[in-house]
Amino acid sequence: MTLLVAYASEPPLIDIDGTLFVQLFLFLVLVLVLTQLLFKPYLALREERDRAIAGTAWVARRLEADAQARIADYEAHLARAKARGAEERARIRAEGAGREREVVDQARADASRRVTEARADVASKGEAARLDLSRQADDIGRRLASRLAGRDVQ
Query: In this predicted model, what pLDDT tens digit does every residue of 70-98 receive, in sequence order?
Result: 999 999 999 999 999 999 999 999 999 99
Contact (Cβ atoms closer than 8 angstroms) between residue 154 and residue 142: yes
Distance CA 45, CA 55 (A): 15
Closest to 19 (Cα-Cα) out of 27, 8, 31, 11: 27
Q: What is the pTM of this model?
A: 0.43
Q: What percent of the chain has pLDDT over 90?
A: 54
Distance CA 140, CA 154 (A): 12
Model confidence band, residue 12 (pLDDT cutoffs 50, 70, 90): low
